[in-house]
């Protein structure tokens, strides 16, 4: 398998997931501005969406979107229990993944675009804060998003929380989120992925 990534982007999450699962894969960096791969190829030919992550499977099929790649990785190594196997717990994990993708991840998106009007950024950050406060309230009572059990939802949340510093925001404003991020950061897979992406 081959994972197309940009250092520190949301592709860090499936990078960590692949390491957690112990699956063999290679990495291909994509330039943010040109959308050229490290070898000079056109990333749009890999994924017409033009953004990472993109995971090329051994049969040549391409998967995109963090929650989908997570579910694929989990299905390949179910014994790793990276997501709950079934029932309401499985649904709760997918609920968290969808909330993180649509309410937190996408709240960051306009804040990173240079063409976003300054007048939007203040209410945009307030909107993001409200979404993070929902997670904070949950983590005040639980070690992980799924209670006592680590899951890939925790990885996705960790990766996005790293972006707060780019918005002149700090995790120190959310003590439980800060505690959670520090715990996830120390996992060997996270340290390894961040090292490979030059983020340590």
pLDDT, residue 141, reads 97
The number of beta carbons lying within 10 Å of the beta carbon of residue 104 is 19
Q: What tokens does 21 get?
A: 């699962």
pTM across the whole model: 0.96
Q: Per-residue pLDDT tens, the chain, 200 aa: give them.
A: 999 999 999 999 999 999 999 999 999 999 999 999 999 999 999 999 999 999 999 999 999 999 999 999 999 999 999 999 999 999 999 999 999 999 999 999 999 888 888 888 889 999 999 999 999 999 999 999 999 999 999 999 999 999 999 988 999 999 999 999 999 999 999 999 999 999 99
Contacts 24+ apart (CB under 8 A), 106-113: 107/131, 108/160, 108/163, 108/167, 111/167, 112/163, 112/166
pLDDT, residue 64, reads 98
pLDDT, residue 5, reads 98
The rounded distance, in Å, linking the Cα atoms of 24 and 20 is 11
pLDDT, residue 29, reads 98
Residue-level length of the chain: 200
pLDDT, residue 129, reads 96
Q: Are 108 and 163 in contact (CB under 8 A)?
A: yes
pLDDT, residue 168, reads 87
pLDDT, residue 9, reads 97
The rounded distance, in Å, linking the Cα atoms of 25 and 58 is 10
pLDDT, residue 195, reads 98
pLDDT, residue 114, reads 86
Question: What are the C-alpha distances in Å from 154 to residues 84, 134, 142, 169?
Answer: 13, 14, 12, 20
């Amino acid at each position: 398998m081959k994972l197309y990534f940009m250092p520190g982007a949301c592709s860090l999450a499936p990078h960590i997931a692949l390491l957690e699962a112990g699956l063999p894969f290679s990495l291909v960096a994509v330039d943010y501005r040109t959308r050229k791969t490290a070898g000079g190829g056109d990333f749009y030919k890999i994924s017409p969406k033009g953004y990472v992550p993109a995971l090329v499977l051994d049969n040549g099929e391409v998967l995109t979107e963090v929650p989908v790649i997570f579910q694929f990785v989990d299905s390949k190594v179910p014994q790793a229990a990276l997501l709950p196997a079934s029932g309401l717990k499985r649904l709760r994990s997918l609920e968290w993944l969808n909330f993180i993708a649509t309410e937190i991840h996408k709240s960051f998106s306009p804040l990173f675009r240079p063409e976003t009007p300054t007048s939007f950024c203040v209410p945009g950050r307030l909107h993001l804060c409200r979404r993070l406060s929902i997670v904070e309230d949950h983590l005040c009572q639980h070690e992980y998003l799924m209670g006592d059990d680590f899951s890939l939802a925790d990885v996705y949340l960790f990766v996005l929380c790293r972006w707060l510093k780019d918005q002149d925001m700090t995790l120190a404003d959310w003590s439980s989120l800060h505690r959670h991020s520090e715990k996830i950061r120390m996992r060997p897979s996270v340290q390894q992925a961040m090292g490979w992406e030059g983020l340590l």
